[in-house]
Amino acid sequence: MQSTTLILILAAMSVVAFYAGRRRSVALVGGPRQGSVLHSLPGYYGYFTAIWLLLPALGVLLLWLFLEPTVIVALVVRGLPETYQSLSAGELNLFVNNVQNLAAGDAISGESDAVLSDAAARFLAYTATSRRLLATLALGLGGLGGTIAWRRIRPDLRARNRVEQIILLGLIAASSIAIFTTIGIVLSVLFEAIRFFQKVPVTEFLFGLNWSPQTAIRADQVGSSGSFGAVPLFTGTLLITGIAMFVAVPVGLMTAIFLAEYSSQRIRDVAKPLLEVLAGIPTVVYGFFAALTVAPWVRRAGESFGFDVASESALAAGLVMGIMIIPLVSSLADDAINAVPVAMRDGALGLGSTRSETMTRVILPAALPGIVGGILLAVSRAIGETMIVVMAAGLAANLTANPFAAVTTVTVQIVTLLVGDQEFDSAKTLAAFALGLMLFVVTLCLNVVGLHVVRKYREQYD
Partner 1 sequence: MAKRNTAIALLASAVVMTAVSAAAIAQSGRDYIYIVGSSTVYPFATVVAERFGRGTDFKTPKVESTGSGGGLKLFCDGIGVDHPDITNSSRAIKQSEVDTCASKGVTDIVEVKIGYDGIVIANAIDATAVNLSRADIFRALAKMVPGESDGDLIENPYKTWADVNPELPNVRIEVLGPPPTSGTRDAFVELAMEGGCKSIPWVKALEDTDKDGYKSICHTIREDGAFVEAGENDNLIVQKLQANPTAFGIFGFSFLDQNSETVKGARVDGVAPTFDAIADGDYPVSRPLYFYVKKAHVDVIPGLRGFLREFTSERAWGDEGYLSDRGLIPMPQEERSEIAANVRDLTPLSMARQ
Partner 2 sequence: MESSQITRRKVEAGLPRRRRREFLFQLAGMLATTVGIVFLGVFFADLFVKSSTAFVQTFVKLDVEFTENVIAPGGEWDLTYADFDGLVRSALRSEFPGVSGRSERRELNRLVSVGAGYQMRDMIEADPKLLGARESLWVPASSIVDMYIKGNIDASLEESLRPLSDKQLSWIQKLQDSGRLETRFNSALFSNGDSREPELAGIKGALMGSFYMLIVTVLLAFPIGVAAAIYLEEFAPRNRWSDLIEVNINNLAAVPSIVFGLLGLAVFINWMAIPRSAPLVGGLVLSLLTLPVIIIASRAAIKAVPPSIREAALGLGASKMQVVFHHVMPLALPGMLTGTIIGMSRALGESAPLLMIGMVAFIVDVPGGFSDPATALPVQIYLWADSPERAFAERTSAAIVVLLGFLLLMNLTAVIIRKRMEKKW
85 contacts partner 2 (rule: CB under 8 A): no
CB of 178 to partner 2, least distance (A): 5
Closer to partner 2 by Cβ: residue 112 or 416:
416
DSSP secondary structure letters along 132-195: HHHHHHHHHHHHHHHHHHHHH--TT--HHHHHHHHHHHHHHHHHHHHHHHHHHHHHHHHHHHHH
Q: How many residues does the chain have?
A: 462
Told to check if 97 binds partner 1 by CB under 8 A, we report yes
Among 139, 383, 427, 431, binds partner 2 (CB under 8 A): 383
The smaller minimum CB distance to partner 2, of residues 80 and 387, is found at 387
Which of 74, 217, 351, 445: binder of partner 1 (CB under 8 A)? 217
Cα separation, 94 vs 308, whole angstroms = 56
CB 160 within 8 A of CB 43: no
* Cβ neighbours around 224 below 10 Å, total: 10
User: Binding to partner 1 by residue 170, rule CB under 8 A?
Assistant: yes
By CB under 8 A, residue 320 contacts partner 1: no
By CB under 8 A, the residues from 98 to 117 that bind partner 2 are: none
Stretch that binds partner 2, among 27-35, 73-81, 320-328, 363-371 (CB under 8 A): 320-328
Partner from partner 1, partner 2, none contacting 176, C-beta within 5 to 8 A by type: partner 2
**Residue 249 contact among partner 2, partner 1, none, beta carbon within 5 to 8 Å by kind:** none
Smallest gap from residue 257 Cβ to partner 1 (A): 39
Using an 8 Å Cβ cutoff, are 175 and 41 in contact?
no
The answer to whether residue 161 forms part of the interface with partner 1 (CB under 8 A) is no
Taking the least distance from each CB to partner 2, the nearer of 139 and 247 is: 247
At closest approach, how far in Å is the CB of 110 from partner 1?
Answer: 3
CB of residue 275 vs partner 2: minimum separation in angstroms?
A: 5
Residue type, 347: G
Residues within window 154-213 making contact with partner 2, judged by CB under 8 A: 160, 164, 167-168, 170-172, 174-179, 181-182, 184-185, 187-189, 191-192
Select from 25, 40, 98, 241 the one that contacts partner 1 (CB under 8 A): 98
Determine phi and psi for 211, rounding to 5 degrees.
Answer: -115, 115
Longest dimension (CA), the chain: 99
Smallest CA-to-CA distance from 333 within 272, 285, 244 is with: 272
Q: Tell me, by CB under 8 A, how many residues bind partner 2.
A: 89
CB-based burial label for 17 (10 Å; 0-12, 13-18, 19+): buried
Under the binding rule (CB under 8 A), the answer on residue 390 touching partner 1 is no
d(CA 344, CA 19): 62
Q: Long-range pairs for 351-359 at CB < 8 Å and ≥24 separation?
A: 355/261, 355/262, 359/257, 359/261
Q: Which of 310, 391, 430, 431 binds partner 2 (CB under 8 A)?
A: 391
Q: Whole-number minimum distance, CB 121 to partner 1, in Å? A: 16
Q: Does the footprint of partner 2 cover residue 283 (CB under 8 A)?
A: yes
Q: Which partner in partner 2, partner 1, none is near 356 (CB below 5 to 8 A by kind)?
A: partner 2
Q: Per rule CB under 8 A, is residue 33 in the interface with partner 1?
A: no
Please report whether residue 355 would count as binding partner 2 according to CB under 8 A. Answer: yes
Which long-range contacts (C-beta less than 8 Å, at least 24 apart) are formed by 353-361? 355/261, 355/262, 359/257, 359/261
58 binds, among partner 1, partner 2, none (CB under 5 to 8 A by kind): partner 1
Using CB under 8 A as the binding rule, whether residue 121 contacts partner 2 is answered as no
Q: How far apart are CA 283 and CA 199, in angstroms?
A: 34
- Report what 458 binds from partner 1, partner 2, none; CB cut-off 5-8 Å by kind: none
Only one of the segments 82-90, 119-127, 245-253, 341-349 lies at the binding site for partner 2 (rule: CB under 8 A); that segment is: 245-253
| Among the listed residues 136, 107, 145, the one whose alpha carbon sits nearest the alpha carbon of residue 17 | 145
258 binds partner 2 (CB under 8 A): yes
Q: CB under 8 Å to 394, separation ≥6 — which residues? A: 310, 312, 406, 407, 408, 412
Query: Which CB, 141 or 240, lies closer to partner 2?
Result: 240
* Residue 93 in contact with partner 1, rule: CB under 8 A: yes
Options 32, 82, 86, 89; binder of partner 1; rule CB under 8 A: 89
222 binds partner 1 per the rule CB under 8 A: yes
User: Minimal CA–CA distance to 261: which of 157, 207, 205, 338?
Assistant: 338
Using DSSP's 3-state secondary structure scheme, residue 407 falls into: coil
Strand runs labelled E in 341-383: none
Neighbouring-strand partners of residue 406: 313
Residues 373, 332 contacting (CB under 8 angstroms): yes
Binding residues for partner 1 (CB under 8 A): 3-4, 7, 10-11, 14, 43, 47, 50-51, 54, 58, 61-62, 65-66, 69, 88-91, 93-101, 104, 106-111, 167, 170, 212, 214-225, 295-296, 299, 310-312, 394-396, 416, 420-423
